[in-house]
Structure 1
Amino acid sequence: MKKVVVASVLAVATGTAFYLPAALALDDDQAQGAQSSQLTIKDPAEYNAYTNAVGQSAPAAKASAIEQFLTQYPNSVAKEEMLQQLMAAYEQAGQADKEVDAANRLLQVNPNNLRALTIVVYMEKKQTSDQSKLDDAAAKAKTALAAPKPPGLSDADYEKLKAATTPIFYDAEAVDASAKKDYKSAVEAYTAELKAYGDPAQTQAGPGLLATYNLGNAYVSQDPKDLVNGVWFLTRAAQYAPAGYKDQIEKAAEYWYKKYHCAQTDTACQTNVEGYAAIQQMAKANLFPPDTYKPVAAPPPPSPQELAHQAVTSTPDLKTLALADKEFILANGTPEDAGKVWDVLKDVTAEVPGTVVSATPDTVQLAVSEDAKASQKADFTVNMKAPLKEVPQAGAQVKFTATFDSYTQNPPMIILKDGEPPAAAKKPAAHRPVHHPSGK
C-alpha cells in the first residue's frame, strides 16, 4: 500500500533547535478508492489515459503520466483524484516544490481537501522568515479545521485523518501568531495543539515536544507575563528534551521560577531554587498543570513610595543624601516625605551637572539622573540669571551653578533659578623675578 508522507523537519524555535521525526502518513489507496467508486469516465480515450496514469509504479513516471492526463483532460471528472495522486507521486519522488504546487492546484478544485491543506500548511509554516507564507498557512489551517468530512471516506478513516492533521493546523496558527508577537493567540493555539494529541506520549518527542516548549515561551513573552504557566511548560519540555537541549531549557525554566518565587534579596532561594524539584517531578508525569501545582509567589518588592519613605526615615541628616536620592524622593515620596527633602534643598545654591536635552539663552533643560539620561528626558530646568552668550547643543555635558526654586512631582521636574555657567578658573599670578640689590 502506497503512503503519502509529510517529511520530518528541523524545527528552530527561539534559539533552540529540535529534530522532529514527525511523519504524517496519508493513505493514498484509500483516497483513490473512495473517489474512483464514484467516478464514471465515459470517453474511452480518457479512460485509457486515466488507467495508464494510475497504473504506473515508478513515482516519476506516474507524475509525468498524470500531468499529461491533466493537460489533455483539464475538465475531467477525475481531476480531484488525479491531483491527489499527483501529490503522492511527487512526495514519493522527493520533489517537495512540485508536491506543494499540486496541492495548491487541488485546492482550486476543492478548497476543503484536507490532504492538500495539510501539505500546503505544513510546508508554508516552516518558512518562518516569510510572514506572508505564515499568514497563508494560518488562514488555510482555519479552513481545514472547519472542513467537512470528505465524501466517500469512512468515519473511522476520517477520524484517523483528523487526528493526524489537527495538531498541524493548530501549530500553523500558533507559529503565525508568535511571529506577530500575538502571544495570547499563540497560547490558545499551542494549547489546542497539545490537547489535539490523542496520547500524552506524543508530546514527549517530535512536534508535540516542540509545541510544549513554544507554549512555555509564549506564556513568558506575554505582557503581562504568566510565569506560573510559563514555568510549567518549559519545565515539562525540559524533562523530555534531547540531551543537547535539556540543560538550556531547564535553566530558562529555573530563571523564570526564581523570578516568580524568590525575593531578590533571598540568596538561599536564588541559589538552591527551593521547591523546583517537586515541579520537575509533577511536570514529567503531567502534560497540563494538576490542581496540586501551586507555586508560591515571592512577596512584592517595595513600591517607589515605600523606598522613598525608607530613605527618609533611615537618614538622620537629609542633607547628606546624594542629589539622585533627593530627586527620587521628590518624585516618588508622599507629600510629607517629599516636603522634608525639599526643606533641605529650597534656596540652596549648588553646582548641577547634566546632559543638555534642550536649551535657549534663558533656559536649559538637563537630564541629570541616570534614568533621565538613558531616556533622554529632562528632569532639571535651569532658568538663567542672564541670557547665555553661547547656547549649548543638545547632548553636551555641562555644569551650571543655580539655586533650587521649585519642583513638580508629576511629571518629575526640579526647577532652579539664577543659573550661571561655572566661573572660569582664575589664572595663576605671573611670577616676577626678584632682583637682588647687589645685582646678583
Structure 2
Amino acid sequence: MKKVVFASLLAFATSTLCTMSATPVALAQDAAGSQSSSITIKDPAEYNAYTNAMGQSAPAAKAAAIEAFLQQYPNTVVKRDMLEQLVHAYQATGDQAKTFDASKRLLQDDPTNLAALTFVVYIEKAQAAGDQAKLDQAAADAAKGLTATKPASMSDADYQKLKDVSTPIFYSTEAADDVAKKDYKDAIEAYTNELKAVKDPAATTQQPLLADTYYLGNAYIQEDPKDLVNGIWFLTRAAQYLPDPYKTNAEKAAEYWYKKYHCAQDDANCQNTLEGFDAIKQLAHDNVFPPDSYKPVAAPPPPSPADLAHKAIVATPDVSKLALADQEYILANGSDEDANKVWDALKGQTSQIPGVVIQATADSVQLAVSDDAKQSQKADFTINMKEPLKTVPAVGSNVTLIGTFDSFTKSPSMIILKDGEEKPTAKAPVHRTARHTSGM
C-alpha cells in the first residue's frame, strides 16, 4: 500500500485570509449602504458635536471625533448611526483591532446588524487558532447572522448583496466549529451550504473557498461510515486549483481513496494506471458539485477482512516474521484463533513504533501507524510511557517510540504498549587526535 502523508492546509488558508483582512467588512459596508433614518437632535451642543464629527473627512480624525462624541453623549439618539460610522472610519484607517471593537460595540446596540456580524465572525474565526471556546463563540455569532432579518431601512437589492457576502463566511465558520468537534455530518452540511451560497463558481477556485472545498472532501473521508464517492470528488476538485505543495498532497489523497474505492486489491494495472481518474479530474475542474455523469465504478467485493487475515497466516506460518502492518490487520480483523496466534508472538516483545501523533500527554502518546490510520487521522497505537515525557510531542508530528506490547482491542482497533520510551538519538562518533612524540 502506498504511503500517503497529508500536509495540513490550515496554515495556507489562514495566511490567505490575513491578506484580505479588510475585504469582508468593506464589502459588507458597501452592500449595507447608509441605514440612517431621519435624525432629530434637540440639544444644540449635541447637534454641533454630531455635525463636527460627521464632517471630518480624514478617517482617523473622524473616528476620534465620533469616540469623543459617544463619550460625551453615551445615550444619544444617534448612537447606532454613530457606531456604524465608527466602524466605517476605523475600517478606512486599516486598524483591524479597532474595527473589530467598534463592530462588537455596535452589536451591543444592534444585535442583528448583518454588516457588523459579518466582520466580527470573520475575525473571531481567524483569531480562534485552536481555542474551542473562541471558535464556539464565532459559530454562535455566525448562527445569529444566518437568521438575521432585513432592516426596514435597507433595500432588497442592498440586503441581497450583503447576504451574498456574509452567508459563505457564516457557513464556513460553523463548519470549522463542527470539524473541531469531529461532528463531520454537520460540517458536511455547512461546507455544502457555503459552496452553494456562492453565486460565481469561479470564486470557489480561490481562497478561502478553495481550502473549504478541500476540508469538505476530508470531512466525507472522516465521516463514519466514509462517503468515498463524495470525498474523492471534493478532494479532486480542490487539487485542480491549489498551488503546490497543497495541490500534490490533495491529489495524493484523492488518488489514495480512489484506489480504495475503484481498484480491486489484486488489480495491479488499476492500482498503477488509475483508470478512469483522469476523466474525474476533468469533471472536477469544470464543476463545483458532482454532475450526473460522475459515476465512479466501485471495485468488486473484496475478500472479507477475516479471509485476508487468514490468508496472511497461511502464507507466513511464523507470524513473528509478518510486517507490523500485517500483524495489526490480523489483530483487528482476524478470527479469534488467528488474532490470538499473532498476539502470542507480540505480547511482551519490545519494539520501535513509528507514527504520527494524534494525541499526547506526558504519560501517554496515541499514534497513527498504519496508512489507513494516517489517512483517517485516527490513532491505532497507544504507548503508555515508563517515565513522564520531558517534552510532549506536537499533534501531527512524526515520532518513533519504543514500547512493550501489552494488550489490544479489536473494536475500536487499538494496540497498547507499556514502558514507553523515546527512541535514543544516535551519538556522533568522538574523534580523538593522536598524540605524537618526537625523539630528541
User: What pairs up with 1:353-368 in 2 under 5 angstroms?
Assistant: 354-355=347-348
- 1:120 paired to 2:120: yes
TM-score (norm 1): 0.68
User: What pairs up with 1:289-304 in 2 under 5 angstroms?
Assistant: 289-304=290-305
Distance 2:206 2:71 in 1: 43
- 1:216 paired to 2:217: yes
Provide the residue aligned with 1:200 in structure 2.
201
Structure 1 position 333, deviation (Å)? 5.3
Equivalent position amino acid for 2:348 in 1: T
Q: Quick check: 2:28–2:162 contact (8 Å CA) kept in 1? A: no
Structure 1 position 59, deviation (Å)? 1.1
| Residues 40 and 279 of structure 1: CA distance in aligned 2, closer, same or farther (over 3 Å) | same
Distance 2:279 2:404 in 1: 55
Structure 1 position 180, deviation (Å)? 1.7
Distance 1:271 1:99 in 2: 54
| Residues 266 and 68 of structure 1: CA distance in aligned 2, closer, same or farther (over 3 Å) | same
Provide the residue aligned with 1:389 in structure 2.
none
Gaps of 5+ in 1: 1-11, 346-350, 358-370, 377-394, 398-408, 411-440
Equivalent position amino acid for 2:302 in 1: P
Distance 1:223 1:293 in 2: 22
More moved, 261-270 vs 91-100: 261-270
C-alpha distance after superposition, 1:69-124 (max 9, x if no partner): 11011111111111111111111112111111111111110110111111110001
Q: Quick check: 2:217–2:235 contact (8 Å CA) kept in 1? A: yes
Structure 1 position 247, deviation (Å)? 2.5
Distance 1:201 1:352 in 2: 57
Structure 1 position 31, deviation (Å)? 5.5
Gaps of 5+ in 2: 1-7, 322-326, 351-369, 371-379, 384-402, 412-440
Structure 1 position 169, deviation (Å)? 0.6
C-alpha distance after superposition, 1:3-51 (max 9, x if no partner): xxxxxxxxx734654635653334758867431x332112111111111
| Residues 76 and 289 of structure 1: CA distance in aligned 2, closer, same or farther (over 3 Å) | same
Provide the residue aligned with 1:63 in structure 2.
63
Q: Quick check: 1:32–1:85 contact (8 Å CA) kept in 2? A: no
Structure 1 position 242, deviation (Å)? 3.0
- 1:19 paired to 2:12: no
Provide the residue aligned with 1:132 in structure 2.
133
Q: Quick check: 1:304–1:333 contact (8 Å CA) kept in 2? A: no
| Residues 237 and 53 of structure 1: CA distance in aligned 2, closer, same or farther (over 3 Å) | same
Structure 1 vs Structure 2 CA RMSD: 3.6
Provide the residue aligned with 1:288 in structure 2.
289
Distance 1:227 1:265 in 2: 20
Q: Quick check: 1:32–1:81 contact (8 Å CA) kept in 2? A: no
Provide the residue aligned with 2:192 in structure 1.
191
Distance 2:381 2:140 in 1: 42
Structure 1 position 263, deviation (Å)? 2.5
Query: Is the partner of 1:34 in helix, strand or coil?
Result: coil
| Residues 70 and 268 of structure 1: CA distance in aligned 2, closer, same or farther (over 3 Å) | same
User: What pairs up with 1:137-176 in 2 under 5 angstroms?
Assistant: 137-176=138-177
Provide the residue aligned with 2:390 in structure 1.
none
Q: Quick check: 2:179–2:219 contact (8 Å CA) kept in 1? A: yes
| Residues 91 and 193 of structure 1: CA distance in aligned 2, closer, same or farther (over 3 Å) | same
User: What pairs up with 1:331-346 in 2 under 5 angstroms?
Assistant: 332=334
Provide the residue aligned with 2:241 in structure 1.
240
Provide the residue aligned with 2:257 in structure 1.
256
Point out which structure has higher relative CO (alpha carbons under 8 A, 6+ apart): 2
- 1:93 paired to 2:93: yes
| Residues 76 and 354 of structure 1: CA distance in aligned 2, closer, same or farther (over 3 Å) | closer
Q: Quick check: 1:137–1:172 contact (8 Å CA) kept in 2? A: yes
Structure 1 position 248, deviation (Å)? 2.6
Provide the residue aligned with 1:80 in structure 2.
80
TM-score (norm 2): 0.68
Distance 1:81 1:265 in 2: 69
Q: Quick check: 1:28–1:85 contact (8 Å CA) kept in 2? A: no
C-alpha distance after superposition, 1:345-369 (max 9, x if no partner): 9xxxxx9895299xxxxxxxxxxxx
Provide the residue aligned with 2:49 in structure 1.
49
Provide the residue aligned with 1:427 in structure 2.
none
Query: Is the partner of 1:107 in helix, strand or coil?
Result: helix
How many residues are aligned here? 337
Equivalent position amino acid for 2:97 in 1: D
Q: Quick check: 1:100–1:123 contact (8 Å CA) kept in 2? A: yes
Equivalent position amino acid for 1:97 in 2: A
| Residues 50 and 29 of structure 1: CA distance in aligned 2, closer, same or farther (over 3 Å) | farther
